[in-house]
Amino acid sequence: MRPALAVVFDMDGVLLDTERLYTEATQQIVGRFGKTFDWSVKSNMIGRPAGDSARYLVEALDLPITAEDYLREREVLFRTLMPTAKAMPGARELTDALHARGIPVAVATSSARPVYELKTTHHRPWFASFHVVVTGDDPRIARGKPAPDIYLLAARELGVEPARCVAIEDAPAGVDAARAAGMGVVAVPDPALGRERVAHADLVLETLVGVRPEDLGLASTSVGPSAGSAWQPRASRGPGRSS
């Protein structure tokens, strides 16, 4: 990977342990129809926009409901489940280390803003420390992952060229999106997904535990004025600023 100046994080499965909550909610719904939601299906859904994933699920499991029906039921379950999300091992420590070195950091999540708010209910101070947060329902995003739009927007909001950013992802669609944006990509896949599904990332890790900023291919200096200083993103030129 070329030396990077900023880091853009996916959220689900990278910063927050929400994938098990997605599985729990979805199994409750599909179980009523005698179906099982396992990784043979889930592996083709993670990281993608909710509508795309829902349509795939309904077709793959031949459910007698529409994608919209599924999303409505899931939304109700999310109100209870998502606020229980815990930080992924090593995620908070890594972001703290990046902040200490003055490295700009962003979140680029396919989750819509209301779902993002649910997931981060008990992590407000942590997520407030990210310089930019871009959610999947931002009107400036024309296409969801695996298209590069969300990563290009995050880089633009940071004021850093995409080629000088490194993305951290857990899903094949997310790896594809970051690569299409021209970013270096570090993948931290769920063990059930398997490393081979994200082998096209520049670096594949088992966990973020113990990962240091220098392990991410970051340049020796950041775009911030000094280590630990209050870096500010450039002024937004588009509608609906996400940071």
Please report, to the nearest 10 degrees, the dihedral formed by the alpha carbons of residues 108, 114, 116, 121 taken in order: 150
Cβ(198)–Cβ(172) below 8 Å: yes
Q: Could you confirm whether 176 is annotated as catalytic?
A: no
Cβ(132)–Cβ(107) below 8 Å: yes
Of 10, 52, 137, 149, catalytic? 10
Q: Which residues contact 168 (CB under 8 A, 6 or more apart)?
A: 7, 8, 9, 10, 14, 185, 186, 187, 188, 208, 216
Cβ(6)–Cβ(103) below 8 Å: yes
Q: Could you confirm whether 137 is annotated as catalytic?
A: no
Of 12, 52, 138, 190, catalytic? 12
- Which residues are catalytic, by number? 10, 12
